[in-house]
Amino acid sequence: MSTTAEILSTPTQTADFLPILGTDHIEFYVGNAKQSAYFYQHAFGFQPVAYRGLETGYREAASYVLRQGKVTLVLTTPYHPGNFIADHIYRHGDGVRVLALWVENATKAYEETTRRGGKSYMPPTRLQDEHGEVVLSGIHTYGDTVHVFVERTNYKGPFLPGFMPWEGFGKSEPVGFKYVDHCVGNVYLGEMNQFVAFYRDVMGFQQLISFDDKDISTEYSALMSKVMANGNGYIKFPINEPAQGRRKSQIEEYLEFYHGQGVQHIALATDDIIHTVRELRRRGVEFLETPKAYYETVLERVGSIDEPLEVLAELGILIDRDEEGYLLQIFTRPVQDRPTVFYEIIQRKGAKSFGKGNFKALFEAIEREQARRGNL
Ligand code: FE2
């Protein structure tokens, strides 16, 4: 176990042609946005920000915007069938449609990426209301997932033009989420390198770390993964593809139930994972269980840590170390009925890697759940 965030590939150009300030928001298309908003507000502790729907004069879909730290989620559901959002939900179930990136110039972002072969989703589009103006543009990535570039320098409203402030469903306390650490995509067997090339050539990202099935394999499951990061390192998109295992891998299970390629998990960073996970568990958020045996040997692998091991064991938090430090992480169960999208909670204490040392323990836990679902 020795991975660091060293740069393995050289960027095609030295200047960052797509400067990104951060993750702007993540939009899910869901079957019942009102109930999803309640879940994210009260279970995950997101705070209500904005709303758009019939009451604001928008007659196609309802959208709820919630925020915690720098993490902004948008939950959208259509009012009628026969449109792209309804078709997306029919095919994929609840899932991520938009990974939106905050940029200084959405027109330039669009021109630079489409010139390099990015497939247009939305040409630069100016939206205005009494709070100012926003420019949006976008390109396609894996499956039905898109990247929207958001330029909001001249905007003072709660979210985007057309949205009004929204009070939420009563009060809820945040759990300590600070920012999006990374967002992972699952793609078909043999297609990982195509999307690695997309992020490198179209978006100017660099490859950080490469895993293969020797790193990540259990008796049944195997996967390959490459991590792509933008110039300033704020945005990290690992791409997974299934590798040959004896039985169906977790990536194949996802692809089968999502009916396509898409976002597998979103990792949210916290400064105090013990508080965050204790609070999430109290509110009924479901996590993968870590085998007790994991804690009997983990310190031999990772060395000394600041946190009491018995508390980490009680909460099921995993530990890994690389050359630069260590990290604490835990994974939720899927947050919808289909075994597709889930969350990772991560606290970095110097480590810049992704928990490779935990993959075996983690995947064995996932496989126990796959077996319960009859999908192994
Ligand atoms: Fe992750």
Q: If we measure between CA atoms, which residue out of 229, 222, 215 comes closest to residue 184?
A: 229
CB distance 231 to 103 below 8 Å: no
Gap from CA of 251 to ligand 1 centroid (Å): 13
| pLDDT tens readout for residues 96-145 | 999 999 999 999 999 999 999 999 999 999 999 999 999 999 999 999 99
pTM: 0.93
Please identify, among 165, 194, 220, the residue that sits at the C-terminal boundary of a domain.
165
Task: Please indicate, yes or no, whether residues 105 and 85 belong to a single structural domain of this protein.
Answer: yes
What rounded mean pLDDT belongs to the chain? 92
Residue 45 lies in a domain: yes
Task: Please indicate, yes or no, whether residues 158 and 199 belong to a single structural domain of this protein.
Answer: no
Here the tokens at position 30 are 């869901």
Gap from CA of 267 to ligand 1 centroid (Å): 6
Gap from CA of 265 to ligand 1 centroid (Å): 7
Which of the four pLDDT bands, split at 50, 70 and 90, describes residue 221?
low
pLDDT at 5: 46
Please identify, among 139, 165, 191, the residue that sits at the C-terminal boundary of a domain.
165
Residue 77 lies in a domain: yes
pLDDT at 291: 84
Stretch 182-206: mean pLDDT: 97
Gap from CA of 34 to ligand 1 centroid (Å): 28
Task: Please indicate, yes or no, whether residues 145 and 214 belong to a single structural domain of this protein.
Answer: no
Gap from CA of 346 to ligand 1 centroid (Å): 8
Which of the four pLDDT bands, split at 50, 70 and 90, describes residue 212?
low
pLDDT at 293: 83
Task: Please indicate, yes or no, whether residues 87 and 189 belong to a single structural domain of this protein.
Answer: no
The number of domains in the chain is: 2
Alpha-carbon 306 to chain mean position: 27
CB distance 235 to 229 below 8 Å: yes
The Cβ-side half-sphere exposure at 337, using a 13 Å CA radius, reads: 4
Gap from CA of 326 to ligand 1 centroid (Å): 15
Please identify, among 115, 137, 165, the residue that sits at the C-terminal boundary of a domain.
165
Gap from CA of 182 to ligand 1 centroid (Å): 7
Gap from CA of 354 to ligand 1 centroid (Å): 6
| pLDDT tens readout for residues 19-50 | 999 999 999 999 999 999 999 999 999 999 99
* Identity at 212, one-letter amino acid code: D
Gap from CA of 306 to ligand 1 centroid (Å): 22
Gap from CA of 330 to ligand 1 centroid (Å): 9
Residue 7 lies in a domain: no
| pLDDT tens readout for residues 233-279 | 999 999 999 987 767 788 999 999 999 999 999 999 999 999 999 99
61: domain CATH number is 3.10.180.10
Gap from CA of 237 to ligand 1 centroid (Å): 9
Q: Write the CA distances from 190 to 35, 81, 193, integer angstroms.
A: 37, 34, 7
pLDDT at 223: 82
Residue 11 lies in a domain: no
Which of the four pLDDT bands, split at 50, 70 and 90, describes residue 216?
low
Task: Please indicate, yes or no, whether residues 221 and 363 belong to a single structural domain of this protein.
Answer: yes
User: Which string of b and e fits 247-266 if b means at least 16 CB within 10 Å?
Assistant: ebbbbbbbbebbbbbbbbbb
> Domain limits at 194?
177-373
CB distance 61 to 77 below 8 Å: yes
